Amino acid sequence: MAEPILRAVNLSKRFGGLTAVNDVSLELHVGQVHALIGPNGAGKSTLTNLLSGDLKPSAGHIHYAGVDLAGMSAERISHLGLGRSYQKTNIFLAFSVFENCRLAAQSRRQRAWRIFRKASRFEDVNARARAALEAVGLASRRDAIAAALSHGEQRQLEIAMCLATEPQVLLLDEPLAGMGPQESGTIVELIRSLTAAHAIMLIEHDMDAVFAVAHRLTVMVNGEVLASGTPSEVRANEVVQQAYLGEEHGAGDV
């Protein structure tokens, strides 16, 4: 197989006495969706935070296209082409939907010599923001204030903001949580359409969605990797059956 674009090696994160992520290794490839599943508190979000630079690892390395990310700031990692969405919606509540995405798109265009040009007049930025909103199915709500959106719509916006930065690697932390079936369908389709050109890590409790899009599957429990492989391998794994899949599959857990 081709070189992975992102490779986490023996990553650990300790919060005081608690080891939230324990010696986890994982690879992401362009053209593949790597699903990360596991019960609540397994350390999935913490792992995402390590990869995105929101948290510094206690141990281990992250190689991204030849660069070691460990200890790098979140903003630099973002500029290298790694984007993420948050499980707990993390948007600019007071701004319009469009401005949320516009700000995300603007981060790719930093021209110091244009300090007096109206922000709304950068057409390339506007276009990218619009495209991101269309992709997640939120174009009709562009002028609404983010705080006034329904929970599901805020989840859509969360993903649109990640898209607007045009990342190569997408880390999606429970993108479908809180969405209705129609929005979920849109996002699953979106993930499918992005797969060819991106490397995607998908954290999700909705097993139908996971098995619909995942090329590889990693199961985490208590901060550790319980199993990793193709979906059918993992599905057949007895330990996983007992520990996780058996009880959770189809339960619609949030």
Partner 1 sequence: MKSKTSVLLLIVLLLFALFPFVGEKFYVQLVAKVMIMAIFAMSLDLLVGYSGLVSLGHAAFFGLAGYVLARLAPQYEAASLWTSLPLALAACAAFALLTGLLVLRTSGVYFIMVTLAFAQMLFFVFHDTPLGGGSDGIYLYAKPELMLGGTSLLNLEDHRVFYWFVLGLVAAVYLLLQRLLDANFGRALIGIKSNEHRMRALGYDTFRYKLGIYMLSGMLAGLAGYLAAMQYGFVNPDILGWHTSGSVLVMVILGGMGTLHGAALGAFVFILLQEVLSNQAWFGPVAKHWQLAMGLFIIAVALFLPRGLAGLSGQRKLREETHG
Ligand X SMILES: Nc1ncnc2c1ncn2[C@@H]1O[C@H](COP(=O)(O)OP(=O)(O)OP(=O)(O)O)[C@@H](O)[C@H]1O
| Assigned token pair, 126 | 């506007």
Dihedral sign for Cα atoms in the order 48, 50, 54, 55: positive
| Assigned token pair, 48 | 């995402």
* Site residues, partner 1 (CB under 8 A): 52, 54, 73-76, 78-79, 84, 86, 90-95, 99, 102-104, 106-111, 114-119, 122, 161, 165
The site partner of 106 among Mg ion, partner 1, ligand X, none (C-beta below 5 to 8 Å per kind) is partner 1
Q: How far is the CB of 231 from partner 1 (least distance, A)?
A: 29
Question: Which has the closest alpha carbon to 225: 7, 5, 2, 24?
Answer: 24
Of 22, 32, 45, 156, which one interacts with Mg ion (CB under 5 A)?
45
- Residue 241 CA from chain centroid, whole number: 25
- Beta carbon nearer to partner 1, 44 or 84: 84
The site partner of 119 among Mg ion, partner 1, ligand X, none (C-beta below 5 to 8 Å per kind) is partner 1
* Site residues, ligand X (CB under 6 A): 15, 18, 20, 38, 40-46, 87
Helix 151-164 × helix 123-136 angle, to 10°: 140
- Beta carbon nearer to partner 1, 142 or 235: 142
Q: How far is the CB of 170 from partner 1 (least distance, A)?
A: 13
Of 12, 52, 85, 87, which one interacts with Mg ion (CB under 5 A)?
87
Three-state secondary structure of 198-240: CEEEEECCCHHHHHHHCCEEEEEECCEEEEEECHHHHHHCHHH
Binding residues (CB under 5 A) for Mg ion: these are 44-45, 87
